[in-house]
Structure 1
Amino acid sequence: MTDLTHDPVTFDIIQNALEAIADEMFVAQRKASMSAIIYEVLDLSSSILAPNGDIAAAGAGIPAFIGVLDKAVKGILKKYPLDQVRPGDMFASNDPYYGGVTHLNDMVLTSPIFDGDRLVGWVANIAHWNDVGGNVPGSMSSEATEIFQEGVRIPAVKIFEEGRPNQAVFDILYVNTRLPDFLKGDLWAGIAGLRIGERRVLELTRKYGVETYLAAVADYMDLGERRALAALKALPPGVYDYEEEQDDGAIHKIRLTISAEKFSVDLTDNPGQKGSNNSSREGSEIALQLAFKTFTDPEGPGNGGCFRPLEVITKPGTIFHVVEPGALGYYSEVEIRLFDLTLRALAHHFPGVVPSGNFASICGTVMGGKHPDTGRHYTIVEPQIGGWGAWQGHDGPSGQFSGFHGETFNCPAEIAEARYGMFVDQVALNPEPGGEGRWRGGKGIEVHYRVRGDGNFLSLGYTRSRMPPWGQGGGRDGSLNYVELRRTDGAVERYAFATNVVVNTGDVIRIMTANGGGFGDPADRPEAEIARDLRNGYLTPERAAEVYGYKA
């Protein structure tokens, strides 16, 4: 079929096929990867994009990653004129200043799709690599002040040129990591994902014709825009300000301007960039895209069209718009603070629309050293799960990744013990108080890692370590995220951010993630639900008496 058709059934078939192809790309990459952060945690995402780089369809994975891929392709198109993009090319970028968007651990791979000599789109994926060099194992240092300290920079370069591998780039990648076997496996898994996506898209263009395929992509984007605009028209227009104190005492500020045509977010009045806690301008846009979609049309297609009404205003040199050579190792904590601040602002101005605060941190935990059984260097990178906030009519879910981190999983204890040099002594719900209400917040977790060798290391970056998840409507605030290091001599050290802390045999790394905020006055919670919480271990008798006035 070569003639253009605007048959809505054909469009629907193509649009659904794109979603299925993006998912197939995701599965292919996951199954071929070497690192548990990818094949267990699913710290990756995949997308199919239009010729101009707009997202046409997204696969499973981290929502904040999907929003990277359109910006990465557009960064490549800024660097390479279209006459320098050819069939068989493949690009790589991990550099936030060259389309990488996040931090150096996250590698973007992308390929153009040509039907004959016609560019019909792109396939792209992104995954977290456990080590890309830099001054600390795991490449994430809360002490970094420049990006040069964080690892090897790949500034949107061709790793394949017209089908021929650029071996120099491969060699640079392999030599700039403490985990070359794992990096090599993860790299080629990403390449495999792109190749399956390209093949499937070309099956569509050859079955329905290039013009019909491109028209279906454009129609899908227009649908996303129409749905977003319809949601905006249902909101009261106005200017809505909000500010929030952070763990370090800094004040983050946001101004939302809502009209029937635009959702504008002004971030200009915010602290200057500092250390490794910064986000690229594009990364801040992603955080706001997630909040915008959550608030306006969570069920609609997450393509480039649905974000057309969103406007983001930033100031270069601030934490939400870092300028070179600023470091970005813990960019995720800045973006998740912005995502949560936006939701909190909306909850304040539009009560009952979004749940109470969740643990709202990636709680990135990096541990490693010499494996006690093999003698090889290992690095485990673990984002943590925590408690979500309650909302009217519902208790918050327990033990979930944040909405920002999305469709991911924790690494099973059995996998962690088999692959890494740690024992997992305990995985349990957080017993600490916090989050009580008519509907209670979900529980965070308490995990104990026991170190099996001397001279190992621990690095981490947790926010909401001083300012707890927020309650609504009289609901109590949640608890805090932190790590407690229990030494064999009985000493106890508490951390929220730390880099390369030495841990030795028998030391226990105790991870605590927050309970979510409650919703509604605790005095209104029925006795039967309080009794159930007591039976299930969500509540102690002392806390039941103190908060609810309940006596068993």
Structure 2
Amino acid sequence: MMKIDAITQEIIQSSLRATSEEMFLMIAKTAMSPIIYEVLDMATAITTAEGELASAGSGIPAFVGALDKTVQVIIGKFGLENIKDGDIYVTNDPYFGGVTHLNDVIFVKPVFAEQQLIAWTANIAHWNDVSGKSAGSMSPDAVDIYQEGIRIPAIKIFQDDQPIDSVLDIITHNSRMPDFLQGDLWAQIAALRLGTRRLQELSKKFGVALFLAALDNYLDFGEAKARTAVCNLPDGTYQLTEPQDDNSQLAVSISVNNEHLTIDLTQAPAQVPGPLNLSRDGTLLACRMLLLSLVGDRDVTNGGSFRNLEVITRPGSIYDVEAPGACGIYFETMIRLNDVLWRCLAEQIPGALPAGNFASICATILGGQHPDSGQHYSIVEPEMGGWGASAMGDGASAVFSAMHGDTFNCPAEIAEVRYGVAVDQVALNPEECGAGEYRGGKGIVVDYRIKSNDSFLTCAYTRSVVPPWGLNGGFDGTTNRIEILRPQQAPTRHAMESELSLQAGDTVRVITANGAGYGDPKKRNRKTLQDDIRNGYISKDYAIEVYGW
């Protein structure tokens, strides 16, 4: 092993993180779709030559852990000896390194220096439409992956740094929004090229041998941080079974043994005919997010961070789907799994984690004909919600789920111009719940007013029946759902819908859950309680009834 002084090691580490961030900003500044450039539904990363995660930029936490797996699939499929400088590969298929679902398209590029493969640049972004039976390519009623869109099974899309036109044509012509697709594709390609240049400059500055040694050292550092975090947990086996909205039961077992964490998911339900299945790699992401919440330092996340984590699944279950199972709504199963794991530790290791949160992506897909341009539009929105309180304080209000981390909501002005809907309301959820010594954060209420006839709603919400769970005497939160308000008709409630018909004048009201509370409400600080009433978080009647004010 080459010895590296601490200053040089830190410079190289920081340079890797800076390169990942610069690639992220490149996509954000050049992409075509608002879900990428406004919501930031994407991620960037650098891996080692062998496909271990070396550094990650901002973006969706669950995405970051997907990119190393794609590189490893590419290496396994093509062989290192056949991978050349100037190649770029693409996949979106959960059965071929795509990890998530067909909308999330991954590009990876090998980085060469001194005729040696030294690293890979990689990125992933959500494309608005990749064909399939439904506009937006996500259908809660899909029965297999063939109904969800075009499958891109880990193939080469550039050779000698030039596009393979036939591959581009096939992908482009399988989208209802080809202009957006091409704009997003080239933004991702540009980011790969930028990252490649930065890594080549870095390896030239320090030398290839020292650069590679620094990557190895960094992975070891990530491993040490994760082992320390697990060491802080008491040894033992923790188990939890939780009912879900559809009356199924999710059972998990977490074993802590010194520095090692084992998660057993073999009691999972069998894979389902619908799109709520999760690939094994996707399941690993949910488990890794739990581990990172314990480590608490995302800046040092890399492949070494997960060396002390073992995940056991059962093929043919919802956590280890077998082809051709549908995966389009995988994200709700992933966040449900992460939430059950979170609760398992939170309830049995006091103070380790906060109480339950809204824990859903709350995917809201609206589409139709733009009232001004006449072109097809498709709005794909994750929604913000309320987080649970902890022993340290109140839960956060109007924040995205753990899975969506660094994303943003699409501004009303952008939605109204690009999508052709009117955003009549964005407010905190006024429902009273989540009481505790520290109260749960507030979800949101958003009204989208439809402006074109023959529009549609597709949505995928969980935590629509079973609310977020309180801790240590704290009260439960509320539930996620959508209400459709039609003129002269009673409101209707929805959570899982595929292409529900909408007409001009209808309002789609998004309501996301308030988080759960922590501790006995009677112990809440009186001054803080007065501020809650003054700020409209709770009413006087609720304060008297629940908090003893």
2:23 aligned residue: 25
Query: What residue is the counterpart of 1:408 in the other structure?
Result: 407
Query: Aligned residue for 1:489?
Result: 488
Could you tell me whether the CA contact under 8 Å between 2:228 and 2:259 is conserved in 1? Answer: no
Q: CA deviation at 1:78?
A: 1.3
Deviation of 1:230 (Å): 2.0
1:445 aligns to what?
Answer: 444
Kept after mapping to 2: 8 A contact 1:352/1:391: yes
1:476, 1:13 → 2: CA distance? 47
1:159 is matched with: 157
Shift of 1:241: 1.0
CA distance in 1, matches of 2:368, 2:218: 48
Question: 1:455-513 CA deviation, whole Å, 9 max, x = no partner?
Answer: 00100000000011111111100000000001123232111100000100100000000
SS in 2 for 1:98: coil
1:402 to partner: Cα distance: 1.1
Match of 1:200 in 2: 198
Q: Which amino acid aligns with 1:336?
A: I
| 1:237 maps to amino acid | D
> Which amino acid is the alignment partner of residue 72 of structure 1?
T
Please name the residue that 1:313 is paired with: 312
Amino acid at match of 1:381: V
* Alignment equivalent of 2:77, drawn from 76, 79, 96: 79
Counterpart of 1:333 in structure 2 is: 332
Deviations 1:289-325 (A, max 9, x none): 0101112443561100011000000001111111100
Aligned to 2:417: 418
Structure 1 position 239, deviation (Å): 1.3
**Residue 220 (structure 2) pairs with residue 222 (structure 1):** yes
- The counterpart of 2:100, out of the listed 92, 99, 102, is 102
Check if 1:394 corresponds to 2:393: yes
**SS of residue matched to 1:247:** coil
Match of 1:418, as an amino acid? V
Q: Measure, in 1, the Cα distance between the counterparts of 2:61 and 2:373.
A: 36
Query: In 2, Cα distance between the equivalents of 1:405 and 1:253?
Result: 24
SS of aligned partner of 2:285? helix
Distance (Å, rounded) in 2 between the aligned partners of 1:379 and 1:300: 34
Q: After superposing the two structures, state which structure 1 stretch, 463-472 or 159-168, moved more.
A: 159-168
**Counterpart in the other structure of 1:249:** 247
- 2:57 counterpart (53, 56, 59): 59
Are the aligned partners of 2:48 and 2:118 in contact in 1 as well (CA < 8 Å)? yes
Counterparts of 1:30 and 1:305, CA distance in 2: 28
Q: CA deviation at 1:235?
A: 2.4
The separation in 1 between residues aligned to 2:354 and 2:41, in whole angstroms, is 25
Give the alignment partner of residue 176 of structure 1, picking from 170, 174, 185: 174
Task: Confirm or deny: 8 A CA contact 1:142 1:498 kept in the other structure.
Answer: yes
2:518 partner SS: coil
- Between the aligned partners of 1:296 and 1:111, the Cα distance in structure 2 is 30
In structure 1, stretches of 5+ residues that fail to align are: none
1:163: how far off?
A: 1.7
Q: Secondary structure at the match of 1:501?
A: strand
1:224–1:300 contact (8 Å) kept in structure 2? no
Instruction: Determine helix, strand or coil for the equivalent of 2:413.
Output: helix
1:292 aligns to what?
291
> 1:496-545 CA distances to partner (integer Å, 9 max, x unpaired)?
10000010010000000000000011111133222211111111233223
Secondary structure at 1:532 match in 2: helix
Looking at structure 2, the residues matched to 95 and 483 of structure 1 have their Cα atoms a distance apart, in angstroms, of 30
Residue 302 of structure 1 aligns with which residue?
Answer: 301
Greater Cα shift, 149-158 or 221-230:
221-230
Equivalent residue runs for 1:369-518 within 5 Å: 369-518=368-517
Q: Distance in 2 between matches of 1:300 and 1:17?
A: 12
Segment of structure 1 superposing worse, 364-373 or 237-246: 237-246
- In 1, Cα distance between equivalents of 2:2 and 2:293: 35
**Which residue of structure 1 lines up, in the alignment, with residue 38 of structure 2?**
40
3-state secondary structure, aligned to 2:12: helix
CA shift for structure 1 position 435: 0.6
Q: Deviations over 1:415-457 (max 9, x none)?
A: 1111111000000000112111111000000000000010001
- Partner Cα distance (1:526, 1:309) in 2: 41
Taking the aligned partners of 1:5 and 1:440, their CA distance within structure 2 comes to 51
Count of residue correspondences: 548
Aligned-partner Cα distance in 1 for 2:252–2:129: 34
Q: Secondary structure at the match of 1:366?
A: strand
Q: Deviations over 1:201-243 (max 9, x none)?
A: 0001111111100000000000011111122223221111111
Distance 2:302 2:212 in 1: 14
Q: Distance in 2 between matches of 1:524 and 1:239?
A: 32
1:112 aligns with 2:94: no
| 1:531 maps to 2:530 | yes
Name the CA distance, whole Å, in 2 between partners of 1:268 and 1:300: 32
In 1, are the aligned partners of 2:32 and 2:180 still within 8 Å (CA)?
yes
| TM-fit CA distance, 1:116 | 3.0
Query: What per-residue deviation string (whole Å, max 9, x for no partner) do you get for residues 318-353 of structure 1?
Result: 111111000011100000011111110001110111
2:139 counterpart residue number: 141
TM-score, normalising length: structure 2: 0.98
Contact 1:368 1:421 in 2 (8 A): no
RMSD: 1.2
Conserved in 2, the CA contact under 8 Å of 1:4 and 1:209? no
Q: Using the alignment, how far apart are the partners of 1:493 and 1:170 within structure 2?
A: 43
Comparing 235-244 with 30-39, greater Cα deviation is found at: 235-244
Query: Distance between the aligned counterparts of 2:299 and 2:262, measured in 1?
Result: 20
Instruction: Judge conservation of contact 1:227–1:300 (CA < 8 Å) in 2.
Output: no
1:121 alignment counterpart: 119
Task: Check whether the contact 1:111–1:122 (CA below 8 A) recurs between aligned residues.
Answer: yes
Secondary structure of 1:219's aligned partner: helix
Distance of 1:222 and 1:45 partners within structure 2: 23
Give the letter for the 2:265 counterpart. L
Q: Distance in 1 between matches of 2:523 and 2:237?
A: 34
2-structure distance, mates of 1:236, 1:530: 35
Query: What's the counterpart of residue 270 of structure 1?
Result: 268
Counterpart position of 1:9 = 7
How far apart in 1 are the matches of 2:177 and 2:45? 27
Read off the aligned partner of 2:358 and give its amino acid letter.
Answer: F
Residue-by-residue CA offset, 1:346-390 (whole Å, 9 max, x unaligned): 011101110111110000000010000000000000000000111
Task: Judge conservation of contact 1:333–1:461 (CA < 8 Å) in 2.
Answer: yes
State whether residues 37 and 382 of structure 1, in contact with CA within 8 Å, keep that contact through their aligned partners in structure 2.
yes
For 2:294 and 2:56, the matched residues in 1 are separated by 19
Per the alignment, residue 358 of structure 2 pairs with 359
Instruction: Give the C-alpha shift of residue 18 in structure 1.
Output: 0.2
Query: Structure 2 counterpart of 1:400, which letter?
Result: V
Letter of the 2:91 counterpart? S
- Specify the code of the residue in structure 2 equivalent to 1:185: G
Letter in 1 for 2:330: Y
Q: Which moved more, 1:312-321 or 1:522-531?
A: 522-531
Give unmatched runs, 5+ long, in structure 2: none
Partner of 1:178: helix, strand, or coil?
Answer: coil
**4+ aligned runs moved over 4 Å, structure 1:** none
- Distance in 2 of aligned mates of 1:157 and 1:341: 36
The residue number in structure 1 matching 2:86 is 88
AA aligned opposite 2:75: L
- CA–CA distance in 2 between the matches of 1:541 and 1:452? 39
